[in-house]
Amino acid sequence: MDRRRVAVVLAALVVTLMISGCHSAYVNATISNHTPTPITVVQVEYPSASFGTQTIAPGQEFKYRFKVLGSGTVKLTYTDAAQVEHKFTGPSLKEGDEGNLSAVVGAGNLGWNLSLQSK
């Protein structure tokens, strides 16, 4: 009976540690195309890495989740329907940041919104 009780207690402890244990900080990024034409060759650079997609159609979004290692600014580059490349510098991120980052591409402009959770 004592062995069973010990096994149950250990199993409960392991489950508790697994549920409450490790949490990694991530940023959920959303790039929205609010132009009347597709944007192409969309590239987002952030501290230590980058991501992108070939095309975002009008009225559509591209979502990506990433972990920030290091610190620096976010940069977004895309090509419009006239084959003109646009480059924008966004907010700064630092290692351990967690929250939401959105970039809304409009006609010739870009709006950034960064919402980080306090630690």
Write the DSSP symbol of residue 117.
Answer: P
Q: State both tokens at 98.
A: 């967690």
Residue burial 89-101, b: 16+ Cβ < 10 Å; e: rest: ebeebeeebbeeb
Domains and CATH numbers, the chain: 24-116 (2.60.40.2890)
For residues 68-80, average pLDDT: 95
Return the pLDDT at 16.
Answer: 63
Q: With a cut of 90, say whether residue 99 has pLDDT above it.
A: yes
Closest CA to 93 of 42, 45, 52: 45
Predicted confidence band of residue 117 (pLDDT cuts 50, 70, 90): confident
Predicted confidence band of residue 28 (pLDDT cuts 50, 70, 90): very high
C-alpha span between 6 and 66 (Å, rounded):
40
